[in-house]
Amino acid sequence: MAFDPGKYFVEDWTTYQDKGVVVYRFRDDLLDEFISDFILPFRLAYVSTEEIVSGVEHGYWSRKQGIANQLPTTPMIKSGEFSEILVYFLSLCFRCPDVNVYPLKWLWKENPNTPMHLSDIAMAKCEDCHNPSEDDYLYFVESKAGATPLPKVTSKSVMNDGILGALDDIVSRASKMVTFLIVKFNKEKNYEMADRMNRFQETVKVKYQRRFNAAIVVDSKSLDQHINNTTQENLDKARRLRVELFAIPIAHMKDVYERVLVEAQNT
Q: Establish if 63 belongs to a structural domain.
A: no
Q: Establish if 74 belongs to a structural domain.
A: no
Q: Establish if 45 belongs to a structural domain.
A: no
pLDDT at 202: 75
Taking CA atoms, 143 is separated from 6, 26, 65, 212, 244, in Å, by 19, 17, 28, 11, 12
pLDDT at 3: 87
Q: Establish if 177 belongs to a structural domain.
A: yes
* Number of structural domains found in the chain: 1
pLDDT at 97: 96
pLDDT at 205: 84
Q: Establish if 91 belongs to a structural domain.
A: yes
Helix (H, G, I), strand (E, B) or coil at 38: helix
Task: For 99, list phi and psi in degrees, rounded to 5.
Answer: -65, 150
Taking CA atoms, 191 is separated from 122, 127, 166, in Å, by 18, 15, 29
pLDDT at 119: 96
Q: Establish if 137 belongs to a structural domain.
A: yes
pLDDT, tens digit, 9 for 90 and up, residues 82-95: 999 999 999 999 99
Q: Establish if 229 belongs to a structural domain.
A: yes
Contact 250, 26 (CB under 8 A): yes
Q: Establish if 52 belongs to a structural domain.
A: no
Separation of alpha carbons 37 and 147, rounded Å: 21
**Structural domain of residue 176, as residue ranges?**
6-27+85-253
Mean pLDDT (the chain, rounded)? 96
Helix (H, G, I), strand (E, B) or coil at 200: coil
Task: For 219, list phi and psi in degrees, rounded to 5.
Answer: -60, 130
Strands (E) in the chain, as ranges, are 9-16, 21-26, 121-125, 137-146, 209-219, 243-250
Which residue numbers in the chain have pLDDT < 70? 1
pTM of model > 0.85? yes
